[in-house]
Homo-oligomer: A and B are copies of this chain.
Amino acid sequence: MPRIVLTGATGFVGAHAIPALQARGFEIHALGRRPPAAEVAFHPVDLLDAASVRDVLDAVRASHLLHLAWYAEPGLYWRSAVNLEWVAASIALVRAFREAGGVRAVAAGTCAEYAWGPDRLREDAPCAPATLYGAAKDGTRRILEAYAGETGLSFAWGRLFFLYGPGEKPGRLVGDAIRLLTAGARFRTSPGYQRRDFSHVADAAAAFAALVDSPVVGTVNIGSGSAAPIRVILERIALLTGRPDLIDFGARPLSASEPASIEADVERLHQEVGFAPYYDLNSGLAHTLNATARRCGGNGGHF
C-alpha cells in the first residue's frame, strides 16, 4: 500500500481529499497542527518549523506527497506577508520529502498565478500574478520544478480555480449566499456578470488524488472547464432555497481588479490524468445546500 504524506488535511480541500486518497489505496499520514476529522495516521507538527517537519518525514518515509496546506484566511490571504512563510515552508517540505526517499509529489497552485485575461486559461498561458498570494505560489512552483528536475522527483502542480461545497469558511461566495438565504437574510452582491470557473470541492479533491496517483508532471489546471456568471450561480442558489427575493444584485460594485472571466482549460486533467468530475453546477450546489442544511439545522447557524 503506497504511503502518502498529506498537508492541509483539516482544510477545505484536504478534508475531502482523505476519502479520495483512501479510495485509491493510499495509506495516509496527515501532518499539521490539528488532527483531521477522519481516522488516519496523524503527526502533529507546525509546518512552518522546517526542522521538525524534516524529522517527521524522515520517520514516515512516504513514497507520495500531497501538499495542500497554505495560509488561506478569507479576505486577508491575497496580500498578507504570511504568504512568504508558506513559500519557505513549502520548499523545505518538498526537499525534506525528497531527501527522505519520496518519489512523487503534488502541490496546490492557484489560478491567481496566471495573467488574467479574456481567454480560457491553458497551463502554458503566461503567468503574471496580480497579487502577493499569486506571486508566492508562482515563485514556489518555479523553484520546486527546477528542484524536482535536478533531483529526479516526479512533480506536478495542481492549479486550483474557484471552489464551493460543504465546510466552506465564511467570507466565500457560495457558502455565504447559502447561509444568508437559508437564514432569511439579504445577500448584497455585485451585478454578477463576471464569469468564474467553480468546482465542487469534492471534485477538486478527487482531481488532486487522481493527479498524485498518476505519472503526469508539470502544471495541471483543476477546474470545471466551464465558467458561469456569478449571477447564474446565485440565481441557482436562490431557486434551491426558494428565496430569490433576498439577493440584491448590484448592491455592491465589482472591484476594478476583477476580470470579466476566469475559466480553466481542463484538457490535461481530463485527457492526461483521466479525471472526470462527479458533480455539475446544479447537482453540486444542491448537494452543498443539503449538506449545509443538515449541519446547521437549516437555521444558518454558522452566522
Whole-angstrom distance from the CB of A71 to the nearest CB of chain B? 14
Contact residues in B for A139 (Cβ distance below 8 Å): 139-140, 142-143
Q: A139-B140, A147-B81 are in contact. Are A91 and B95 (CB under 8 A)?
A: no
Q: Is the CB of A135 within 8 A of B131?
A: no
Whole-angstrom distance from the CB of A246 to the nearest CB of chain B? 36
Contact residues in B for A151 (Cβ distance below 8 Å): 81
Copies in the complex: 2
Flag whether A79 is at the interface (Cβ < 8 A).
yes
Flag whether A269 is at the interface (Cβ < 8 A).
no
Contact residues in B for A135 (Cβ distance below 8 Å): 142-143, 145-147
Whole-angstrom distance from the CB of A83 to the nearest CB of chain B? 8
Flag whether A217 is at the interface (Cβ < 8 A).
no
Count class of interface residues, chain A? 20 to 34
Whole-angstrom distance from the CB of A100 to the nearest CB of chain B? 13
Contact residues in B for A92 (Cβ distance below 8 Å): 84, 88
Flag whether A132 is at the interface (Cβ < 8 A).
yes
Whole-angstrom distance from the CB of A88 to the nearest CB of chain B? 4
A142 to B135: give the CA distance in the assembly, Å.
6
In the complex, residue of chain B having the shortest beta-carbon distance to the beta carbon of A91 = B84
Contact residues in B for A140 (Cβ distance below 8 Å): 139, 143
Contact residues in B for A32 (Cβ distance below 8 Å): none
Q: Is the CB of A79 within 8 A of B150?
A: yes
A135 to B293: give the CA distance in the assembly, Å.
48
CB proximity to B under 8 Å, residues A80-137? 81, 84, 87-88, 91-92, 95, 99, 129, 131-132, 134-136
Q: Is the CB of A146 within 8 A of B136?
A: yes
Whole-angstrom distance from the CB of A224 to the nearest CB of chain B? 28
CB proximity to B under 8 Å, residues A129-188? 129, 131-132, 134-136, 138-140, 142-143, 145-147, 149-151
CB proximity to B under 8 Å, residues A179-209? none
Contact residues in B for A149 (Cβ distance below 8 Å): 132
Whole-angstrom distance from the CB of A28 to the nearest CB of chain B? 26
Whole-angstrom distance from the CB of A212 to the nearest CB of chain B? 22
In the complex, residue of chain B having the shortest beta-carbon distance to the beta carbon of A149 = B132
Q: Is the CB of A136 within 8 A of B132?
A: no
Q: Is the CB of A142 within 8 A of B138?
A: yes
Whole-angstrom distance from the CB of A54 to the nearest CB of chain B? 12
Q: A135-B145, A140-B139 are in contact. Are A87 and B88 (CB under 8 A)?
A: yes
Whole-angstrom distance from the CB of A26 to the nearest CB of chain B? 26
Contact residues in B for A143 (Cβ distance below 8 Å): 84, 87, 135-136, 139-140
List 12 interface pairs A-B (beta carbons < 8 Å), by A numbering.
A50-B88, A79-B150, A84-B92, A84-B95, A132-B146, A132-B147, A132-B149, A132-B150, A135-B145, A135-B147, A136-B143, A138-B142
